[in-house]
């Protein structure tokens, strides 16, 4: 399933901090979004559409030259372990070596997979010992992720995206416990970013604890377009204050199901196979992928 999703993203994605960080615009921007389902743009209905990374790329292109943009290193369900493994793969090296702007979403799946959300009852349950262990693993992995990116993308400014409270629909007396754990995760991400010389992007204040307008599905933690817009604008407060994704700039909905992405990938692979039969061409990186879900191609221009 994973390899189909990643390969299809190249075609799909091209629809249309600190004072110091704001002063160093990357021109032209070579933007890579890595991480979990938020970086991929998963919707509350388990589809894929424009996420915060797409909105960032769109706003960048309105204000400065953009060499290319890719979210091929983002996949729904990725934990920090998965993200670390993905950027260490041979397939990731080429695209990362070309990047000068990177956003990272990693850590939420380490934590939230341990939270049992009973949307019918409006309750949340987790085991503190398990959460403590998971957050410690997330801390260690995030340090390794940022160290790896510093090595593979030495010219890139890295932005570590924080997380919002993902359960606004639960009862008020059920919110505090999980909210504290998300706060702990954000503090871990912020400390890791500061230690590595990266920029932490705080998004929780844009959501608060009652953002049902941004996280509309009680049974799903993913934001809608308004939520992704808030995340993109939180990024721009660190990248270049004053740049904002306005409501009228939001692209029209164009969700794709995982089945549609798989079908598109099947067709793409068939066309590539026919082309290879007709003439000798270089193998696609996905052909010998040890992970089985990467299909990174030549970086495609965003504009």
Q: Is residue 111 part of a domain?
A: yes
pLDDT at residue 158 tops 80: yes
Range of the domain at 150: 2-288
Q: Higher-confidence residue: 3 or 63?
A: 63
Q: What is the mean pLDDT of residues 119-144?
A: 97
**What are the CA-CA distances from residue 115 to residues 123, 140, 152, 266 (Å)?**
10, 21, 34, 35
3-state secondary structure 35-56: ECHHHHCECCCCCECCCHHHHH
Picking from 6, 150, 184, the residue whose alpha carbon sits closest to that of residue 82 is 6
pLDDT of residue 27: 84
H/E element, 196: helix 175-196
Q: Phi first, then psi: give them for residue 117, nearest 5 degrees.
A: -105, 110
Better-predicted residue by pLDDT, 33 or 283: 33
Average pLDDT score over the chain = 85
Residue 290's pLDDT band (boundaries 50, 70, 90)?
A: very low
Instruction: Give Cα separations from 109 to 12, 37, 82, 85, 222 (angstroms).
Output: 24, 9, 10, 15, 12
The CATH number linked to 106 is: 3.40.50.1110
In a domain, 168, yes or no: yes
Residue 94 is predicted with a pLDDT of: 87
Classify the phi-psi angles of 46: left when phi > 0, otherwise alpha if psi is within -120 to 50, otherwise beta: left
C-alpha of 93 from chain center: 18
Closest C-alpha to 265, from 48, 41, 67, 42 = 48
Tally of structural domains, the chain: 1
> In the prediction, which pLDDT does 154 show?
95
Taking phi over 0 as left and psi of -120 to 50 as alpha, with beta for the rest, 77 belongs to: left
Q: In this prediction, what percent of the chain has a pLDDT beyond 90?
A: 73
For 28, 75, 77, 105, 285, the CA distances from 36, given in Å and listed in that order, are 26, 5, 6, 6, 21
Does the structure show a pLDDT above 60 at 126? yes
- For residue 124, being part of any structural domain is answered with yes
% residues pLDDT > 70 (the chain): 82
Tens digit of each residue's pLDDT (9 = 90 or more) over 265-279: 678 777 767 776 655
Adjacency order of strands within the sheet including 199-201: 66-74, 29-35, 101-105, 157-161, 199-201
User: Does residue 118 lie within any of the structural domains?
Assistant: yes
How far apart are alpha carbons 75 and 91 in whole angstroms? 15
Q: Is the alpha carbon torsion for 74, 78, 80, 81 positive or negative?
A: negative
295 assigned to some structural domain:
no
Tens of pLDDT, residue by residue over 200-225, are 999 999 999 999 999 999 999 999 99
Per-residue pLDDT tens over the stretch 72-114: 999 999 999 999 999 999 889 989 999 999 999 999 999 999 9
Bridge partners of residue 35, in order along the sequence: 74, 105
- Which of 16, 49, 56 minimizes the C-alpha distance to 33? 56
Is residue 296, in this structure, part of any structural domain at all? no
pTM of the model: 0.83
pLDDT value, residue 262: 73
Q: So what's the pLDDT on residue 77?
A: 94
Position 279 scores a pLDDT of 52
Is residue 299 a part of any domain in this protein?
Answer: no
For residue 298, tell me if it sits in a domain. no
């Amino acid at each position: 399933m994973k390899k189909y999703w990643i390969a299809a993203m190249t075609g799909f994605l091209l629809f249309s901090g600190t004072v110091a960080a704001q002063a160093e615009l990357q021109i032209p921007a070579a933007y890579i979004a890595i991480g979990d389902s938020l970086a991929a743009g998963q919707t509350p209905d388990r589809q894929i559409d424009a996420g915060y990374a797409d909105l960032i790329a769109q706003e960048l292109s309105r204000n400065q030259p953009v060499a290319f943009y890719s979210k091929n290193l983002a996949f729904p369900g990725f934990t920090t372990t998965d993200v670390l493994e993905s950027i260490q793969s041979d397939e990731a090296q080429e695209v990362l070596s070309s990047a000068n702007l990177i956003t990272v979403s990693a850590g939420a799946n380490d934590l939230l997979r341990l939270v049992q959300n009973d949307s019918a009852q409006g309750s949340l349950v987790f085991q503190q010992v398990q959460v403590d262990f998971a957050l410690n693993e997330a801390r260690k992995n995030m340090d390794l992720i940022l160290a790896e990116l510093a090595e593979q993308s030495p010219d890139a400014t890295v932005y570590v995206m924080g997380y919002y409270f993902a359960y606004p629909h639960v009862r008020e007396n059920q919110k505090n416990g999980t909210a504290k754990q998300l706060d702990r995760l954000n503090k871990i991400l912020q400390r890791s970013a500061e230690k590595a010389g990266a920029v932490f992007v705080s998004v929780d204040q844009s959501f608060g604890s009652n953002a049902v307008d941004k996280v509309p599905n009680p049974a799903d933690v993913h934001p809608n377009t308004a939520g992704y817009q808030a995340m993109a604008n939180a990024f721009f407060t660190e990248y270049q204050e004053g740049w904002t994704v306005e409501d009228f700039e939001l692209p029209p909905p164009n969700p794709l199901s995982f089945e549609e992405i798989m079908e598109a990938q099947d067709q793409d692979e068939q066309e590539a196979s026919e082309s290879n039969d007709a003439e000798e061409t270089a193998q696609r990186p996905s052909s010998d992928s040890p992970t089985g879900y990467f299909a990174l191609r030549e970086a495609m221009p965003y504009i």
